[in-house]
Homo-oligomer: A and B are copies of this chain.
């Protein structure tokens, strides 16, 4: 049952009356081949419906012509988060003009590490971009044979690891300073998971700035980057009576805003709020949300270019690229 349906290069070569080597050269253009032969081979391949066996080709040439986008999050999070959506779109956009296929690997937290590791191997993909990584779960990614570009500072460094990031410390500071300028005095933060470097960095910048100005930075609630995560964190903060809350994702901010509103807190009046991502969500709430940018399009493009640089031009090692965030001011703060 296995053999049927498999048209091999040998079949094409035989049909065109040449050797396999010649057929290979004619199809890939990797070597000299007379125009006449080339045409014959191409015609034969077309006629027989030949599709090169990717595995064999990868094995022989050590090139897979594919890159993986690895997102170690449950797929409900991947599909709901504007930042991750932006990354998916951006990465596939960036690789579209190249001949690399983008493969989306949704790694679930409870997946055995081997399941994804075996796919991040040479000759399956030539490289990978890793987004939204947590402290644990991707440790064993070091040592995979392929170059890796992280979006967001990785927890450990390694020869094969490169990264792009937003200056998240500066982002946290931006939010804090805005609140200070608006005269706030009782602060709180709704952060993402504690095991992600961007969260740590934003929180650090936030705290530093407030402490530096002589204020208590207040509580920091850690929760998943979801609507529910924001809402639940907000519920826990209602009693605290903050007049300025920094929420580290617009999606969480939507949930938080709703929870605060239901608790009788008027956001924009009783309480200032700043989100992160500057996504559609920030523009659709009421009041609209002031937000720190987290430019997925820019990040994904840079990450893709960085990976392509290594893949196609052997440019390596590469220094990290850091993007400066900006504050987009709207009604909420």
Contact = CB atoms under 8 A, between A and B. Distances in A.
Contacts of A47: none
A98 B6 CA distance: 26
A66 B124 CA distance: 11
A96 interface: yes
Contacts of A44: none
Interface in A67-118: 75-76, 79, 85, 88-89, 92-93, 96, 99, 101-106, 108, 111, 114-118
Given A79-B85, A85-B79, A145-B6, A55 B118 contact: no
Interface in A128-171: 143-145
A66 B119 CA distance: 9
A79 B82 CA distance: 10
Nearest to A66: B119
A282 interface: no
Interface residues of A, number: 47
Interface string A9-30: 0000000000000000000000
A62 B105 CA distance: 22
Contact of A79 (B5, B79, B108): B79
Given A89-B75, A89-B79, A96-B108, A54 B101 contact: no
Contact of A118 (B6, B51, B117): B51
Q: Which 7 A-B pairs have the closest CB atoms?
A: A55-B123, A104-B104, A5-B145, A55-B58, A55-B55, A54-B124, A55-B59
Interface of A: 2, 5-6, 49, 51-56, 58-59, 62, 64-66, 75-76, 79, 85, 88-89, 92-93, 96, 99, 101-106, 108, 111, 114-119, 121-124, 143-145
13 contacts: A5-B143, A5-B145, A6-B145, A49-B143, A51-B114, A54-B123, A55-B59, A65-B118, A101-B105, A101-B115, A103-B103, A103-B104, A104-B106
